[in-house]
Structure 1
């Protein structure tokens, strides 16, 4: 079954990764409580490939920052819209952001909703 995802990428100061991880773990619980099926975040490790534009360049990350790349999985775009509406109204999210010293800046985040286009996995192999 095809799902719908929200994808995002943004920089985080390397010296605040522990604070950001606590924020992300709490945010994941909130999103899942409001209907997300899965919540994934990864930290950049190998971000340069000759001949391509890197996430570091795209986001204008500094040497003191690393890139977070993630996505949230939903049953459908409608389920995503409803979950995001509930998350935005959830007072726990505002409290998390206000109390966190993570360096997260939504203005530097690239974000979008995506529908399935191509899928290939070992689980589909016969």
Structure 2
């Protein structure tokens, strides 16, 4: 059963392309270090809640959009080893020449690791089955 790291980030809406460039630059490193998949998603329908919501969780301003991302690892041990290597890798440092600057306030990012307990998938049907 795989292991999932989840992230919620407030990104200045004007930085959408910079966010995509940042993710496109850094996300392949997750795969190099053992991740199976990385998904970055830009908020499109992120409603205000009555008690809490994604926007409040990351203190998003009206000029910011909430981004949601996850990294899928084969297991927690691979994730722990990969994340340790990633934090030590100079390619992850935005101050390293050639690396894109961080297009969001990392102090307001929320993240966590999750053990998958349910995984329901659609069964794909071929046109011949219809």
TM-score surpassing 0.5? yes
Contact 1:5–1:71 (CA under 8 A) maintained in structure 2? yes
Task: Give the length in aligned residue pairs.
Answer: 122
**Counterpart of 1:11?**
10
Looking at CA atoms only, which structure, 1 or 2, has the larger radius of gyration? 2
- In structure 2, do the counterparts of structure 1 residues 19 and 50 end up closer, same or farther at CA, with 3 Å as the change threshold? closer
1:42 equivalent in alignment to 2:41: yes
Q: RMSD value over aligned CA atoms?
A: 2.0
Q: Which has more helix, going by share of residues?
A: 1
Contact 1:39–1:71 (CA under 8 A) maintained in structure 2? yes
The superposition leaves residues 76-108 of structure 1 with CA deviations (integer Å, 9 ceiling, x where unpaired) of: 0000001101111111110xx235344322210
- In structure 2, do the counterparts of structure 1 residues 86 and 102 end up closer, same or farther at CA, with 3 Å as the change threshold? closer
Unaligned runs of 5+ in 1: none
Unaligned runs of 5+ in 2: 125-130
Contact 2:22–2:103 (CA under 8 A) maintained in structure 1? no
**Counterpart of 1:110?**
110
Contact 2:22–2:101 (CA under 8 A) maintained in structure 1? no
The superposition leaves residues 33-60 of structure 1 with CA deviations (integer Å, 9 ceiling, x where unpaired) of: 1111100010111111665632112211
Partner secondary structure for residue 113 of structure 1: strand
Contact 1:14–1:66 (CA under 8 A) maintained in structure 2? yes
Partner secondary structure for residue 100 of structure 1: coil
